[in-house]
Structure 1
Amino acid sequence: MTTGHPTAARSHRRARSRKIRVLIALVAAAAVLGIALVVVPMLRPAGPRPLFQMPVTCGETWQLSTYPGHDDYDVDFFPIEGETWGRPVLASYAGTVTVAGINGSLGGRTPDNPEGPRGRGGGYWVKIDHGGKWETQYLHMLEAPMVKVGQQVSQGDQIGRLGSTGNSGAPHLHYEQRRGWEKVETHFDGEPSGITTDEREQILRRVSNNCPAVS
């Protein structure tokens, strides 16, 4: 015994099949659009290099250095005079904080226990997006960053304090400038820093021009 008209049943199945195809097409279109929104901005060329300043206090002289195995273009900052622990870490340029937290593990090196166990990675760190595919990174800070993800910062704003968290042998600031996915030579006040390859030890000195704007 049949319970329905065969033609009506076939029509119902065709309608349901059309709905499924339409749904699949909509999902596929949404996926393509989502990928395009992520990939297309990445393919655009970077904007002009911001006028980055050293991430330390105006007028101070600091040692900029690297060593074999450190990685090309990475810069370690050490003060020439005074206490190292707790020195202000400043934003090199205005931007938006995209990371403010822990990279790897903290370890146990503190001002009271400078020879404590090392951690892993960058310890307390911050990343700032400066627009135009430019980014800066600040690693090994003493304590949790003074900024939060999504926060807008101006050049010279304090974002943390210098320390030795993560895989760090002594208190210092590990600093990077990036253009898109590419790490590049750091520039300060419009001039290249000179820290390039990690094939040999490099030690330079520079005076910070990360000074408050004159009104």
Structure 2
Amino acid sequence: MTRETVGRRRWAFLSLLAVLCGLVLVPAQPVGAVAGVMVQPVGGRVTGVLSNRCGSVDADHYGVDVAGNGGAAIGAAYPGTVAAAGYTSGGGYLVTLNHAAGYQTRYLHMVRQPSVVVGQQVGQGQLLGYVGSTGNSTGPHLHFEIRRHGAVYDIGPAYSCGGTVTKGAPINLPFADLAPVNAIPDRFAFVNSAGVLYAKDGAYAPWQAVNAGGASKVVLGGNWIGWLQGGNFYVKDGVYAPWLTLAEGGQVRDVAISGDRFAFVNSAGVVYAKDGAYSSWRAINSGGASRVVLAGNWIGWVERGNFYAKNGIDAQWLTLAGGGQVRDVAVSGDRFAFVNSAGVLYAKDGAYAPWQTVNAGGASKVVLAGNWIGWLQGGNFYVKDGVYAPWLAMAEGGQVRDVALGGEDWFAFVGSGNFFAKQGPYAGWLSMAGGGQVGGIAVTS
């Protein structure tokens, strides 16, 4: 009998004993604990919670199973050190992290060799690997465990069979002696006149070159950095991660990222989307699109001057604005906005709500983030804190060439080829990148 078998039987016995005694091995509500400091490593549907396999009982099961698309990125639930990264016959490709205060998390059944190595320090949300079905598994899913001081932690109160979880959302459990952290930092990126893409985490951090040149657009989503270069779509899962080619052949015309969802438009105007970097692309339309945007579960696109959207890859599409006059679009949460051929900006909260006019005309670009609506008009940058709020002039003088919003309170623009940003509408502007060479920008937090 192997040590692993002995250990598994021992845990099974202890788990069964705890159930019979009406106890848990480690209580889920320790005194003085702070709730929600760990975050969900993946999103998907819950198919198993401890011994409850959602239809059967398995006392030899110590975590939660989250079924999802094969290839979806797995993020660390909390900062820690990699204690194990490799392959076992039962768990397949897996990662074990050691955290502060005696906590440990485990991530099983990855599609291939983990993206981290033993001894490596990882941050919250950092890429560990990708959802797969290796080892003792019946389909693509993540088996996720939490332990403390070697004992199985009771995750039952945070999960329910058939329910869904969202990657990066707080795990609704109290964790004694763990301090909250920011899962995703304030990230900034820009492309210069030579097509070199720069990115950094934090307003005062040094810039890091992401490519060697040739980029024409940068997009940010979750921990991902994506860019369009030579008609190809490339991404990195963090500033220092290796780059991946998501779509090549020189036919890519526009790109978008939201969480672990990716989308692009090819030269024939076909929109493709997928959930997970290693999953298969799905065609969304039959052609004619010129732009694609992603936000949460929404996919939006401009096709022959009309604004269409789908609430998920397999959902039915909706016509949000027709008439062939749509020139730019944006989506954030359940807020939608577009600019028509006269530069009139419209916005609404909810796919079926009526459109509200935001300006009188002249807009050329719209951006959304949090509750903010921003737009570029006549070389000036304007914002509104909600559809019905008064508008604010953020940057005037007719020199603004690009604008961006990030998170709840970051505002950014390109003026005279320089990159400026500020946190809060009434703060002073920070000079992020000068030299008159800045083209497109992106901000997320």
Range into which the TM-score falls when normalised by the shorter chain? 0.5 to 0.7
Count of residue correspondences: 137
Higher Cα Rg, which structure: 1
Distance 2:154 2:147 in 1: 8
Would you say 1:154 and 2:93 are equivalent positions? no
Which structure carries more strand by proportion? 2
Counterpart amino acid of 2:112? E
Q: 1:168 aligned to 2:127?
A: no
Q: Distance in 2 between matches of 1:70 and 1:166?
A: 19
Deviation readout 1:25-80 (Å, 9 max, x if unpaired)? xxxxxxxxxxxxxxxxxxxxxx9678110002xxxx5212211216455111123x
| C-alpha distance 169-142 of structure 1, shift in aligned 2 (>3 A) | same
Counterparts of 1:169 and 1:141, CA distance in 2: 13
User: 98, 111, 115: which is aligned to 1:129?
Assistant: 98
Aligned to 2:76: 91
Alignment correspondent of 1:75: 64
Larger helix fraction of residues: 1
Task: Give the Cα separation in 2 of the matches to 1:171 and 1:73.
Answer: 18
Match of 1:55 among 41, 56, 60: 41
Task: Identify which of 183, 186, 192 aligns with 2:152.
Answer: 183
Structure showing greater relative contact order (alpha-carbon pairs closer than 8 Å, 6 or more residues apart): 1
185 and 94 in structure 1: CA distance in 2 versus 1, 3 angstrom threshold:
same
Identity %: 37
* Distance of aligned partners of 1:145 and 1:174 in 2 relative to their CA distance in 1, 3 Å threshold: same
Of 142, 145, 162, the match for 1:203: 162
Aligned to 1:65: 47
- 2:195 alignment counterpart: none
- The superposition leaves residues 173-207 of structure 1 with CA deviations (integer Å, 9 ceiling, x where unpaired) of 111000112111238xxxx4135xxxxxx322222
2:169 equivalent to 1:193: no
Match of 2:184 in 1: 212
Between the aligned partners of 1:76 and 1:124, the Cα distance in structure 2 is: 15
Query: Are the equivalent residues in 2 in contact too, given 1:122–1:139 (CA < 8 A)?
Result: yes
- Residues 141 and 164 in structure 1, CA contact (< 8 A), matched pair in contact too: yes
What SS is found at the alignment partner of 2:99?
strand
Q: Which residue of 1 aligns with 2:370?
A: none
The answer to whether the 8 Å contact 1:48/1:132 transfers is: no
Contact 2:77 2:125 in 1 (8 A): yes
Deviates more, 1:205-214 or 1:127-136: 205-214
**Equivalent position amino acid for 1:133 in 2:** G
* SS across alignment from 2:91: strand
Shift of 1:103: 1.4
Asked if structure 2 preserves the Cα contact closer than 8 Å seen for 1:185 and 1:194, the reply is: no
Question: Which amino acid is the alignment partner of residue 54 of structure 1?
Answer: Q
What is the letter of the counterpart of residue 77 of structure 1? V
Q: Distance in 2 between matches of 1:169 and 1:131?
A: 33
Change (3 A) 1:72 1:143: closer
Q: CA contact under 8 A between 2:95 and 2:106: conserved in structure 1?
A: yes
CA apart distance, 1:132 = 1.0
- Conservation of the 8 A alpha-carbon contact between 2:46 and 2:159: no
Q: Normalization by structure 1: what TM-score?
A: 0.57
Report Cα offsets for 1:117-166 as digits up to 9, x if no partner. Answer: xxxx0010000001211000000000000000000000010010110110
Corresponding residue for residue 140 of structure 1: 109
Cα distance in 2 for residues equivalent to 1:101 and 1:73: 19
SS in 1 for 2:162: strand
Once residues 98 and 48 of structure 1 are traced to their aligned partners in structure 2, the CA distance between those partners, rounded to angstroms, is 25
RMSD: 2.6
Work out whether residues 64 and 206 of structure 1, in 8 Å CA contact, stay in contact via their aligned partners in 2: yes
Structure 2 residues without counterparts, runs of 5 or longer? 1-31, 170-182, 187-201, 203-445
The separation in 1 between residues aligned to 2:185 and 2:33, in whole angstroms, is: 21
Report what 1:116 is aligned to: none
Contact 1:125 1:145 in 2 (8 A): yes
Letter in 1 for 2:88: N
The residue that corresponds to 1:112 in the other structure is none
Change (3 A) 1:208 1:85: closer
